[in-house]
């Protein structure tokens, strides 16, 4: 069985990736467990003999080198600060984790002879798209937020490692993910959990910003396809194929929840807010046969169901209780890569 060294696997997308991949791979999940790292997300695999957790920072080269198995089949690098609004409040942590942390991961992957490096990037590196424009893999990068700038810088270091040192890299750029286990600071989980409690839903500016929503399960199927079949040095886009204005998404959500539109509350716009993302993922379909399978209205309904059925998960997120899971479960006998 092949071994993957996954960074940031306790987050929203990384945990879905692990839940899918653990059926076929041994996985070492290396995660700092910041506020976004939630071990509740991985409860279903915690005791799987193919899974191990190592708590650590991607900026800490010694700790990464100690945790990564020699000759592992791939590094799958999710770890990042991921929330745009936080990057506007303070960008420092974004530069450290997203840029320095990526360079550290590239160095260690090379020295420890990892066979492949899958770097998880974002459609935000392309910046605003005009109404008729679609972001293709070879388009120029024009990031507008500190978050997007840090992810763009990271991509450049990944490509540089391929060119300079011959590292086998592949890059994915995904549009907005949604689905179970997303931290309730991002639009959809925030709107779902607020609406369920009849609390206001903040709409930034005029709500006409367009995002292309892809279900996290579809995204992770694409990541596995790129990992296993992507050509070395290439970038692959992943999207949902149906960009929508935020206000239309929220109207649909309120309809599903049978809640009044009066919950929608206009608030000051995000600084530098990108108006439209639209990712062109035809290359991924053509080369790897992947396409999104979950239509947005169906995926949104099942996501709402999940949040309804998992009110305890949301409560633990909001109260901060989820952050005690690590000490509670692992305590002194810290799980290490040695388990597998
Ligand atoms: P997330 O914020 O839910 O999770 C991030 C994870 O990284 C957490 O488990 C956190 O503890 C860990 N982490 C943060 N800093 C770390 C550090 N210094 N060392 C080790 N671990 C650290 O993020 P997400 O939404 O799951 O996104 C995962 C990746 O996908 C990110 O690289 C993000 O830029 C990218 N991405 C996300 C989306 C989206 O819609 N969520 C879309 C495109 C790309
Ligand atoms: O496009 C991919 C990106 O999608 C990822 O790279 C990021 O990691 C991820 O956070 C996400 O970024 P966005 O800024 O698009 O997602 P967010 O959920 O924060 O916001 C989605 C849209 O909704 C955006 O136009 C801002 C708006 N918004 C957001 C929040 C939190 C609101 O109107 N109200 C809100 O309360």
Q: Which domains does the chain have, with CATH numbers?
A: 3-181+214-240+273-294+322-337 (3.40.50.720)
**Ligand 2 atom at shortest distance from the alpha carbon of 250:** 33
Pair 157, 171: CB distance under 8 Å = no
What is the CA(244)–ligand 2 centre distance, in A?
13
DSSP string for 287-331? HH-----S-HHHHHHHHHHHHHHTHHHHHHHHHTGGGGHHHHHHT
The 3-class SS string of 11-29 reads CHHHHHHHHHHCCCCEEEE
Which of 188-223 are b and which e, b meaning 16 or more Cβ less than 10 Å from the residue's Cβ? bbbbbbbbeeeeebebeeebebbbbbbbbbbbbbbb
To which H or E segment does residue 274 belong?
none
**Ligand 2 atom at shortest distance from the alpha carbon of 270:** 26
Indicate which residue of 16, 57, 124, 155 is catalytic. Answer: 124
Residue 236, classed as helix, strand or coil, is strand
What is the CA(188)–ligand 2 centre distance, in A?
9
DSSP β-ladder status, 264-267 and 214-215: unpaired
**Ligand 2 atom at shortest distance from the alpha carbon of 201:** 36
For 14-65, what is each residue's pLDDT tens digit?
Answer: 999 999 999 999 999 999 999 999 999 999 999 999 999 999 999 999 999 9
For 287-330, what is each residue's pLDDT tens digit?
Answer: 999 999 999 999 999 999 999 999 999 999 988 888 887 666 66
What is the CA(98)–ligand 1 centre distance, in A?
9
204 lines ligand 2 (CB under 6 A): yes
Question: Strand pairing partners for 135?
Answer: 279
For 107-159, what is each residue's pLDDT tens digit?
Answer: 999 999 999 999 999 999 999 999 999 999 999 999 999 999 999 999 999 99
pTM for the structure as a whole:
0.96
Ligand 1 site residues (CB inside 6 A) read 7-8, 10-14, 31-34, 36-37, 57-59, 78-82, 97, 101, 120, 122, 151, 174, 176-177, 183
Active-site residue 51, yes or no? no
């Amino acid at each position: 069985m092949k071994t993957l060294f996954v960074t940031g696997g306790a987050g929203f997308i990384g945990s879905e990736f692990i839940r899918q991949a653990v059926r076929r791979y041994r996985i070492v999940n290396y995660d700092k467990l910041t506020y976004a790292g939630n071990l509740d997300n991985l409860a279903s695999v915690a005791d799987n003999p193919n899974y191990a957790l190592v708590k650590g920072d991607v900026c800490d080269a010694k700790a990464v080198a100690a945790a990564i198995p020699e000759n592992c089949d791939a590094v799958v690098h999710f770890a990042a600060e991921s929330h745009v609004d936080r990057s506007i409040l303070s960008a420092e942590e974004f530069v450290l984790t997203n840029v320095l942390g990526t360079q550290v991961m590239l160095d260690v992957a090379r020295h420890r002879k990892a066979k492949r490096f899958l770097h998880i990037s974002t459609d935000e590196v392309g910046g605003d798209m005009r109404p008729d424009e679609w972001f293709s893999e070879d388009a120029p990068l024009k990031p507008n937020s500190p978050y997007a700038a840090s992810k763009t810088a990271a991509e450049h270091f990944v490509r540089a490692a391929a060119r300079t040192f011959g590292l086998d890299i592949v890059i994915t750029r995904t549009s907005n993910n949604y689905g179970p286990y997303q931290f309730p600071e991002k639009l959809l989980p925030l709107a779902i959990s607020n609406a369920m409690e009849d609390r206001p839903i903040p709409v930034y500016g005029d709500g006409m910003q367009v995002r292309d929503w892809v279900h996290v399960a579809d995204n992770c199927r694409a990541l596995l396809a790129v990992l296993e079949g992507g050509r070395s040095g290439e970038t692959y886009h992943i999207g949902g194929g149906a960009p929508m204005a935020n206000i239309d998404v929220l109207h649909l959500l309120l309809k599903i929840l049978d809640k009044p539109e009066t919950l929608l509350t206009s608030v000051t716009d995000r600084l530098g807010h990108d108006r439209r993302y639209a990712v062109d993922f035809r290359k991924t379909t053509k080369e790897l046969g992947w396409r999104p399978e979950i239509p947005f209205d169906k995926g949104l309904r099942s996501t709402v169901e999940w949040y309804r059925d998992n009110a305890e998960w949301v409560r633990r997120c909001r109260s901060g209780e989820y952050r005690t899971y690590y000490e509670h479960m692992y305590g002194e006998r810290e799980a290490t890569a040695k388990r597998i």
